Amino acid sequence: MNTPVRRLTLLIMAVLGAVMAAEPVLAAASDELQEIVVTARKREESLQNVPVTEDAFTEQTIQSAGIESPRDFVAMVPNMTLVEVQNVGNSFITIRGISQARNSEPSTAVLVDGVLEPNPYEFDQELFDITQIEVLKGPQGALYGRDAIGGAIIIQTADLADHFEGDGKLGVGNGVSEKAQVAVSGPVDAAGTLRYRASLNFYNTDGYLENTYLDRKADPYKDYSGRLRLVWKPSDQWSADLRAYRDRVDTTAYYYVIPRAAEANPFSSFSTPPNANDVTSPIQDNNLGTDFRDITDIALKLDFHIEPGTFTSVSDYNFTKEIDTGDAYDFRPIKDSIAYNFFFAGIPAANGGPAGESQSQFISEKTESQELRFTSNKMNGFSWIAGAYFIHTQRFISTGNLYDRGDGVPAVYETPLIDPANKYATNTNATFLADSQNNNAWAVFADVTYEFSKQWELDAAIRYDQDRRQNTTETPQQFLPDPTAHTGEVRDATFDAAQPKATLRYKPTDDLTFYGGWSRGFRSGGFNQTGVGAVAAKDGQLGVHDLFQDEIADTWEVGAKSQWLDRRLSANLALYYTTDHNGYFFFYDATSSTQNLGNLDALYKGGELELNARATSWLDLYANFGYNYGSITAMQDPKVIGNKPPLLTQDTLNAGLQVHEPLGDGLNGVLRFDYQMLGRTWWDPYNVTSRDPVSLIDLRAGVEADRWSVTAWSKNLTNKLYNAEFSTGGFLWRAPPRRYGIDFTFKF
C-alpha cells in the first residue's frame, strides 16, 4: 500500500473509530454536525445539498482555527495550495492543478460580500471581522466569470447588529509581533433602518527569517486596514449595502536564496544543481528592500425585491498599487555577487564601481465595474438567474534593474533613473521596461435550475465573456530589448469564450446527495512586456512570446455528499477529469530582467475525500485527502510533454481535532490541533527539481467565557524548514518558520 493511501486509511479508521466509540453518550440533537448555509449558486442552500464540491468555514471555525489570512484556510482545503513569494501582491492560488503566475490574471474568482475582487494583487490580505468563507472547486465561470477557471472563494464579513455591540482582539508573539483589532456595529437611526459596522486591524512584526549579512530579520511586516459598511433597509422591498475598504502594507521584497556548491566561488551558482529542498543556504542580500501596497475598494450593492424575485445591482471601484524594491540576481553582497564579478569588477570608483545589481517593480491597477442581475424565486421547482457585467481596467507596470553601490535601492515608478554623464552612477537603471493597458470586458450570463421531483434536479448555466485589451509600450527606446520595437507602440487583442455548465443532482434520501456534470472555465490571455518574445527566442526559450494566449479548462466531475450516525458523521467524495488548454507557465528572462508567461496544455485528474465527525458533544474530528495527477500534453518545446505541470502538488492531507470542554463557573477549555501534509510539488515545465512532501502542525489551546477568551497558539509548531517556492534560475523563497503567541479577545 503506498504512503498516501496508508495515511488516508489510518485517518478514516481513526475518525470512524472515535465516532463509534463515543456513540453510547450521543443521543441529543445538539450533538449533530452543524448545518452550514452557503451561497455557491448565489442562493442560500445547505452545504450538504448543493451540487458543488465546496469547503466552508463558519465563524466558529474561523475563530477556533485562528484563520487570519488566506494561507490559514487554504492550508485546510484538500487539493488547494497557496504560494506567497517575491512581494505581498504576488500570491498564487492553485486548485486541482489550475494555477496562477506572476503578474497574471487570477485562477480563482474572489468575492467579498458578493463583490468581485478584480485584482489578484489584493488577495493576500489580513482577514478580520469575517463570518464565513466558502471555497468552490472546479471551473465556476458560468456564474462568477472569466477568472473563475480554477474555482471561487466567497468571503462574507460580519453581520451588522440591530443594537450597539463591539468586539476586539489583542495579541503578541515571537518575531516581536503585535496585533490589535476592533469592530463596532449598531443602528444609526431610532427605527434601525440604517445600520453600520466599522472595523480596524493593525498587525506588526519585526519578522521571522534571518538575513545573515545584514544581521536582522528579512521579513518585517506591518499592516493597517479598515472596513466600513452601511446597510440601509427602509422597507422589506429595498436595501442598499455600501462598503469601503482601505489597506496599507509596509514590508520587504526579493529576499531570495540561490545556493552555491562552493560559496567562495561566485560562478559556482551556474554549476550548482537546482534543488527545491535546499534549506541550508542563508538569506544574505545586501539590500533589505521595501514593499508598499495600497488598496482602496468602494462597493455599492442594491437589492429590489418584487414578487417574482430580486433585482441586484453591484457597483465597484478598486485602486491597487504596489512598489517593491530589493536585491537582484544572485542576491548576495555586492563583491560576492555574480553581477559584480562578471560585469562590474573592473569599474573604478570614479565611474561608479564597485557595483552589483538591485531591482524595482511598480504596478498600478484601477478598475470600475458594474453588475446587474435578476434572481427569481422558486416556483413549481423552477428558478433562474440572468444578468450582465462590465469592467474597465487601467493598468501600468514597470520593472527594472539598477546599479547597486550599497547606497540602498530607490523606488522607480513610471520613468527610469538616468545619469547621462555616467551610466554606472549610484541608483541609475541598467534595464527598464514599462507598459500600460486600457481594457474593457463585458459578459452576459444565465442560470436555470429545475427540480423534476424531490430527488432529481438539473442546473444549466452559461456565460459569455469578451475581454478587449490595449497595451501601450511606455519603455524609453534605449531600454527596449528588441530593436524592432518602439516606444508608444500599441497592441490590441480580444479574448472571448462561452462558459457553459450543466449539473445533475440526485437525492435518494435527506442525508445522501449525488451529483455530476461538466463545466468550462475561461481565463483571458495578455501581453508580456514588449520585445521579450524575441529575446526569449534568441536565448532558446520556447513558448514565450510578446502575447500569451487565453486559457480554456473543461472539467467532468462526479460527487457524493452523505451524513451518517444520526448526522454526526459526514463523508463527501468528489472525482474530476480536467483538460486544460493554454495554461500559464512562468519564465524569468535574465537578459531583459522580465517576468513572462507562456502557454502549455495539461491533463489533470484526481479527487477529494472529506470526513467530519462530531464524536461527542465536546470533540470534533476531521480528515481530508486530495490526490491530483497532472501531465503536460502539449507545449512549443516537445521535451516537456509528459512532465508534471507547474505548481502541481500531487497530494494533500489534512486532519485535526477540536476539544471544547466545560471547566465550570461559565468557563470552557478549548484545544485545537491541525495537521497538513503537502505532497511532492513541481514548479516549472522542465521539472528540473521538485520539493519533497512537507508536514506541518498548528496547535491552539485556551480558556473562554461568554465575553472573553485567552488563547495560546503556534503555527508550524515543529519549526519545519522548507521552501515555499522554487523558480527558474535556482531561486528559492523560504517559507515562514515556527510562529507562536497569545491572543486575548473580548466583547462589549
Q: How confident is the model at residue 5 (pLDDT cuts 50, 70, 90)?
A: very low
Q: How many CA atoms lie within 13 A of 309 on its CB side?
A: 16
- Residues making up the chain, counted from first to last: 748
Centre a 10 Å sphere on the Cβ of residue 528 and count the other Cβ atoms it contains.
Answer: 25
- pLDDT score of 595: 75
- pLDDT score of 29: 37
- Cα three-residue angle 147-152-154, rounded to 5 degrees: 125
Query: CA separation (Å) from 717 to 48, 68, 210, 712?
Result: 33, 17, 18, 12
- pLDDT score of 545: 87
Query: What torsion do the CA atoms of 469, 470, 476, 478 make, to the nearest 10 degrees?
Result: 80
Backbone angles phi, psi at 620, to 5 degrees: -115, 140
Closest C-alpha to 582, from 540, 633, 529, 541: 633
- pLDDT score of 66: 95
Helix boundaries (H) for 266-376 = 268-271, 338-339
- pLDDT score of 6: 52
Compute and round to an integer the Cα radius of gyration of the chain.
26
| CATH number of 3-352+369-425+444-747, picked from 3.40.50.740, 3.40.920.10, 3.10.300.10, 2.40.170.20 | 2.40.170.20
User: CA end-to-end span of the chain, whole Å?
Assistant: 54
Residue with cell 567562495: 264
CA distance 151 to 134: 11
CA distance 94 to 108: 8
DSSP 44: -
Closest C-alpha to 677, from 661, 695, 659: 695
Query: What is the per-residue pLDDT across 550-573, written as a single tens digit (0 to 9) for each?
Result: 999 999 999 999 999 999 999 999
Residue type at position 348: P
Mean pLDDT (the chain, rounded): 91
- Please give the grid coordinates belonging to residue 257: 536564496
Query: What is the per-residue pLDDT across 314-340, written as a single tens digit (0 to 9) for each?
Result: 999 999 999 999 999 889 999 899 888
CA distance 297 to 227: 9
Give the predicted TM-score (pTM) of the model.
0.93
Mean pLDDT, residues 191-205 taken together: 97
Question: Would you list the domain boundaries of the chain?
Answer: 3-352+369-425+444-747
- Please give the grid coordinates belonging to residue 148: 473563475
| pLDDT of 138 higher than 90 | yes
Closest C-alpha to 744, from 705, 716, 691, 688: 705
Closest C-alpha to 162, from 189, 191, 192: 192
- pLDDT score of 30: 54
Residue-wise DSSP of 169-220: EEEEETTTEEEEEEEEEEESSTTSSEEEEEEEEEEEE--SSEETTTTEES--
> Which residues lie closer than 8 Å to 299 by C-beta, 6 or more apart?
113, 115, 242, 243, 314, 315, 316, 317
Q: How many CA atoms lie within 13 A of 628 on its CB side?
A: 34
| pLDDT of 92 higher than 60 | yes
Residue 42's H or E segment, with its range, is: none
Centre a 10 Å sphere on the Cβ of residue 658 and count the other Cβ atoms it contains.
Answer: 19
Residues 183 and 197 sit within 8 Å (Cβ to Cβ): yes
| pLDDT of 28 higher than 80 | no
- pLDDT score of 158: 95
| pLDDT of 24 higher than 50 | no
> Which residues lie closer than 8 Å to 438 by C-beta, 6 or more apart?
393, 394, 470, 472
Query: What torsion do the CA atoms of 323, 327, 328, 332 make, to the nearest 10 degrees?
Result: -170
Query: What is the per-residue pLDDT across 219-229, written as a single tens digit (0 to 9) for each?
Result: 999 999 999 99
| pLDDT of 91 higher than 80 | yes
Residues 160 and 100 sit within 8 Å (Cβ to Cβ): no
Tell how far CA 44 is from the center of its chain: 25
Closest C-alpha to 517, from 447, 617, 612, 444: 447
- pLDDT score of 11: 47
| pLDDT of 96 higher than 90 | yes
- Cα three-residue angle 157-113-500, rounded to 5 degrees: 140
- Cα three-residue angle 253-255-258, rounded to 5 degrees: 145
CA distance 289 to 326: 4
Mean pLDDT, residues 36-46 taken together: 93
- Please give the grid coordinates belonging to residue 177: 509581533
| pLDDT of 474 higher than 60 | yes
DSSP 52: S
Query: What is the per-residue pLDDT across 250-296, written as a single tens digit (0 to 9) for each?
Result: 999 999 999 999 988 988 888 899 999 999 999 999 999 999 999 99
